[in-house]
Chain A
Amino acid sequence: MSPTPFTEQYGQRESMEYDVVIVGGGPAGLTAAIHLKQLAQQKGTEISVCVLEKGSEIGAHIVSGAVMDPRALSELFADWKERGAPLETPVTEDRFLFLTSQRAYQVPNWMLPATFKNHGNYLISLANVVRWLGRQAEALGVEIFPGFAAAEILYGDDGAVKGVATGNLGIGRDGKPSEQFQLGMELHAKYTLFCEGARGHLGRQLQEKYQLNAHSDPQVYGLGIKELWEVPAAQHQPGLVIHTAGWPLEHTTYGGSFLYHMANQQIAIGLVVGLGYENPYLSPFEEFQRYKTHPAIRAFLAGGKRISYGARAIAAGGLMSLPQLAFPGGALAGCEAGFLNAARIKGSHAAIKSAMLLAVATFEAIANGRQADVLEDYPQAFKRSWLYQELHRARNFKQWMSKGLALGTVMTGLEHTLLGGRVPWTLHHRHADHTCLKPASHCKPIDYPKPDGKLTFDRLSSVFISNTHHAENQPAHLTLKDPTVPSNVNLPRYAGPEARYCPAAVYEFVIGSDGEQHLQINAQNCVHCKTCDIKDPTQNIVWITPEGGGGPNYPNM
């Protein structure tokens, strides 16, 4: 889907110049932008910064649990409270439960590792925090362009990144320009910072081009599926944080749930399923739906109403999966690189901190007259930072948990409580998620209960309340390297896992006029979670960005 074929008809693209172009208006991207402006203000200089965001507005594509550690935000804005940052619900109580199909066993608080203790942290809607960050950024003079997707990386003759181009607008489903056609624009920068979140589509291209993960473990992911519920006041306890492990997931499948009591009688509830699962019949969406039926969980939702739904992949590999962070002309920050701390189930503070470190390195390079080279200071500053210390202590978490719930629990407890987080051993992620699927013939189908429409729901009614919308007349943004693979490989060997792992019913196998099953791609349902790009066994599905402004319109998710 390269835009360059249109230049013969429509001429060269226009371009705009900035000191720094940032791809992604999430916590990392906005923090980098803010900090660059703060540094310029301190030094009495100017720096031009723009942020491209594919969502229709800042916050539209943000979905997260979430409990935030305010440490990094306090470094960005010491006066965040006075500025009205929406961190209004302090955590009042932590509970950790191991679930079986009927029972719940609570871990006594004294036994909980520090990573699961949230005193001093806040329950937040990350989307609202991001919207607030957007306002701070605009007040500092950052140019933010929501509704514009960065579709293409631009390289100089020396092979360094020199910027990005926005996608062409108004291309029909057949790939031909419609009446509304508008050529994309080029944005040139001294440095381009990529902050697309987990499994960014441009990040994937950068990894290939510069071999960024040549010396790190493969990144591994979870799929987080979340709902917001409004519940009666009687069963609502603001500040209560509950995490569970165990049922409904098998002990060999990494994952767990969160249940957070937010403000306004709302509950944020979700399940994270590790995408290294082996059984192609597993459906993360349906695991989440049946999780809600557990007696200890449904009690919180009784009499309540589901008001929002969303899903997003989570980069959970931690320190060992971090790629090389800087390359000629650019760098990665936030979940794009994979700074999330899976042991603490937190990534927003890591996104903010990593972005601040990157902003410092970028600002200093530009102040010294540099451009389009490697920001070596950034990875070095990261190694000296508290974020590195924190990720280093947690570096084995997912690897232990991937060996099974029992062993993982014991070893995590050992590492973090008895050994105080200082252990001499380092485990590695040996397998990328997409290589872990076993053939369907070796696995048992899972009998999921049907949705009841009150507590549990189907995919379509869920996508409905994510306010997902894509302009009708555009090519499908879920591309296949080889269109024959779904019918020749995915269906016979793996029983069509895409129809199960996608939380938005994008992929459907339907019987065609020839009596055979074919893959139908309902691209307009896509919530941009990136699971298909991660989990397709032959990596045949490549997610690229649709026209800017499309996708979910999450409220306070």
Chain B
Amino acid sequence: MSNLRILVATKRVVDYAVKIRVNAAGSAVETANVKHSMNPFDEIGTEQAIQIKEALVKAKTGTAEVIVVSCGPAKSQETLRTALAMGADRAIHVESDEELQPLAVAKLLKAIVEKEKPDMVILGKQAIDDDSNQTGQMLAGLLNWPQATFASKVELGDKLMTVTREVDGGVETVKAPLPAILTTDLRLNVPRYASLPNIMKAKKKPLAKFTVADLGVDIKPRLQTLKIAEPPKRQGGKLVESVDDLVDKLKNEAKVL
């Protein structure tokens, strides 16, 4: 009988349907009055954990406890409730209004891992607001655990996971002993809708809160944003008459030669 404990990390980000813009002060992306939701790759992670649990229960070989965690301001609880409504068992909110960069999040997650002792930690490959693609890898480094990133398929064996990864050249299959880190890619699964009854049930599921101080972690940012600007407006293309014309334009107009 295998009883797994899976920790799923989630982040509340600007919703993917929103067209973002730089705020009036030019200091950051405008987030006031803007719709937020769970990072899509984290939805995939939550779905994967629940599917693992359902497969174990269906095969009668055990069960899994799915714990979902989020680090962020008070509103991150909405993200956690969504995950609970999808089928996670309990939630942990590490509350902070400070800027949390990937290294800080990895350290906070390490503290949670040391408390909860999960067999797997599942993260999204990257958050769609900063596209850092670092937290899972950094967490693996801090814990000295194996990592399988950009997962498009996962199979669990006895204390072992076999993961198909999406890499530049195609796909690659790796095996890693548990406990291990997994980060999700788009093709891993299609997250389920949270049904109304499950949303209701989610309100009663346990949600524990920690502060950064409770976990004793240094979250000081290591990176400073110097400038943020919208991409330059696309210029119209130009037709060239001959190769000489092209070389001339590349040299004198685009100035790349």
Give the Cβ gap from A171 to chain B, nearest Cβ, in Å.
12
Contact (Cβ within 8 A) B24 A465 = no
B20 (CB) vs chain A CBs: closest residue: A467
* B91-127 interface (Cβ within 8 A of A): none
User: Complex: how many Å from CA A166 to CA B194?
Assistant: 13
Interface members, chain B 32-47 (any A CB < 8 Å) = 32-35, 37
Q: Are A464 and B197 in contact (CB under 8 A)?
A: no
Question: A555–B35 Cα gap in the complex (Å)?
Answer: 7
Scan A29-53; emit 1 where CB is below 8 A from any B CB, else 0.
0000000000000000000000000
Within the assembled complex, what's the spacing in Å between the Cα atoms of A469 and B19?
11
The SS class assigned to the B binding surface is: loop
| Mask: chain A, 287-324; 1 = CB below 8 Å from B; 0 = not | 00000000000000000000100000000000000000
On whether the beta carbons of B19 and A467 are closer than 8 Å, the reply is yes
| A368 CB-CB contact with B under 8 Å | no
Whole-angstrom distance between the alpha carbons of A180 and B51 in the complex? 13
A541 part of interface (Cβ distance < 8 Å): no
Query: Which residue of A60, A180, A182 is within 8 Å of B35 (Cβ)?
Result: A60
Interface pair B197/A467, CB less than 8 Å apart? no
Bound form: Cα–Cα A555–B199 in Å: 25
CB distance from A164 to the nearest CB of B (A): 12
The residues of B that contact A192 with a CB separation of less than 8 Å are: none
Q: Which residue of B lies closest to A148 (CB)?
A: B196
List chain A residues, Cβ under 8 A from B17: 56, 467-469, 553
**Is the C-beta of A128 less than 8 angstroms from some C-beta in chain B?**
yes
A-B contact count (CB 8 A): 53
Task: Return chain A residues, CB-CB under 8 Å to B33.
Answer: 125, 127-128, 555-556
Residues of B within 8 A of A457 (CB): none
Asked whether A307 and B21 contact (CB < 8 A) given A166-B196, A553-B15, the answer is yes
Contact among B18, B21, B190, B197 with A553 in the assembled complex (CB-CB below 8 Å): B18
Q: Is B228 an interface residue (CB 8 A)?
A: no
Q: Across the interface, do B190 and A180 meet the contact criterion of CB distance under 8 Å?
A: yes
Do residues B195 and A182 form an inter-chain contact, with CB atoms below 8 A?
yes
Interface residue tally for chain B (C-beta within 8 Å): 19
Q: How far is A391 from B41 in the complex, measured between Cα atoms in Å?
A: 51
Q: Which residue of A lies closest to B190 (CB)?
A: A180
B205 interface residue (CB < 8 Å to A): no
Any A CB within 8 A of the CB of B220: no
B251 in the interface, Cβ–Cβ < 8 Å? no
Assess A145 versus B196: contact at CB under 8 Å? Given A179-B190, A180-B190, A556-B33: yes
Per the bound structure, the CA–CA distance linking A436 and B210 in Å amounts to 63
Is the CB of A206 closer than 8 A to any CB of chain B? no
Contacting residues, chain A, for B32 (C-beta < 8 A): 555-556
Q: Are B196 and A185 in contact (CB under 8 A)?
A: yes
Using CB atoms, name the residue of chain B closest to A86. B33
Chain A residues near B240 (CB, 8 Å)?
none
A170 interface residue (CB < 8 Å to B): yes
One digit per residue, 1 when the CB lies within 8 angstroms of any chain A CB and 0 when it does not, for chain B 155-198 equals 00000000000000000000000000000000000101101110
Does B28 sit within 8 A of A, measured CB to CB?
A: no
A residues within 8 A CB of B24?
A: 230, 264-265
Q: CA separation between A166 and B32, bound complex, in Å?
A: 30
Task: Quote the shortest CB–CB distance from B233 to chain A (angstroms).
Answer: 9
Instruction: Find chain B residues with CB under 8 A from A16 CB.
Output: 196-197, 200
Q: How many residues of A contact B (CB 8 A)?
A: 30
Q: What chain A residues lie within 8 Å of B34 (beta carbons)?
A: 555
A143 at the interface (CB under 8 A from B): yes
State the Cβ distance, A489 to closest chain B Cβ, in Å: 35
The residue on A at minimum CB distance from B37 is A56
Q: Which residues of A (1-33) have their CB < 8 Å from a CB of B?
A: 14, 16
A145, B193: Cβ atoms under 8 Å? Answer: no
Interface hits, A48-85 → B, CB 8 Å: 56-57, 60
Most chain A Cβ neighbours within 10 Å, of B17, B195, B199 = B17
A467 and B35 in contact, given A264-B24, A265-B24, A307-B21 (Cβ under 8 angstroms) = yes
Binary flags per residue of A150-188, CB closer than 8 Å to B gives 1, else 0: 000000000000000010011000000001101001000
Q: Which A residues are CB-close (under 8 A) to B192?
A: 180, 182
Report the separation of the CA atoms of residues A556 and B34 in the bound assembly, to the nearest whole angstrom. 8
B216 → chain A closest CB, angstroms: 33
Task: Check B193 against A170 for contact (C-beta < 8 Å).
Answer: yes
**Residue in B19, B193, B197, B200 whose beta carbon sits within 8 Å of that of A465 in the complex:** B19
CA distance A450 to B15 in the complex (A): 32
Docked CA distance A56–B195 (Å):
14
> Once bound together, how far apart are the Cα atoms of A264 and B24, in whole Å?
9
How many angstroms between the C-alpha atoms of A464 and B197 in the bound complex?
A: 34
A149–B172 Cα gap in the complex (Å)? 42
Closest A residue to B192 using CB positions: A180
**In the complex, chain A residues 86-121 whose Cβ is within 8 Å of any chain B Cβ:** none
Which chain B residues lie closer than 8 Å to A57 at the CB level? 35
Whole-angstrom distance from the CB of A242 to the nearest CB of chain B? Answer: 22
A window 384-424: CB within 8 A of B:
none
CB distance from B27 to the nearest CB of A (A): 14
B213-244 residues with Cβ-Cβ distance < 8 A to A are: none
29 inter-chain pairs at a CB distance below 8 angstroms, sorted by A residue, are A14-B197, A16-B200, A56-B15, A56-B35, A57-B35, A60-B35, A127-B33, A143-B200, A145-B199, A170-B193, A179-B190, A180-B190, A180-B192, A180-B193, A182-B192, A182-B195, A185-B197, A230-B24, A264-B24, A465-B19, A467-B15, A553-B15, A553-B17, A553-B18, A553-B35, A555-B32, A555-B33, A555-B35, A556-B32
6 further contact pairs, Cβ within 8 A, besides A16-B197, A307-B21, A555-B33: A56-B15, A125-B33, A169-B193, A180-B193, A467-B35, A555-B34
Chain A residues near B (Cβ < 8 Å): 14, 16, 56-57, 60, 125, 127-128, 143, 145, 148, 166, 169-170, 179-180, 182, 185, 230, 264-265, 307, 464-465, 467-469, 553, 555-556
